[in-house]
Amino acid sequence: MSEAPPLVPSQKVYGTVYIVLDDFGKLGRVYRETDETAADAETVIRNLLLGEYHRPVRVIAFNTDEGRSIDASRESRP
């Protein structure tokens, strides 16, 4: 009998990851799928400014190493 593949990848993602909650109206809200190399703050901000999201509602930042998540929509940047 073969073993099922692991649910969690063996590679660890370091640092803070940012995801966007996007509103598609009648279709509902979704957290947009993002490549792990494009889930940093700078890329998400650039994509927001370029209009890559339909109607962004919120940006969530999470860091599993530190065990925290925040609503980064309100985060101030220098």
How far apart are the C-alpha atoms of 5 and 78, rounded to whole Å? 43
Please tell me the predicted confidence (pLDDT) of residue 51.
95
pLDDT score for 36:
85
Give the per-residue pLDDT at 71: 93
Residue 78, pLDDT above cutoff 60? no
Reduced to 3 states (helix: H, G, I; strand: E, B; else coil), residue 51 is: coil
CA–CA gap between residue 78 and residue 74 (Å, rounded): 13
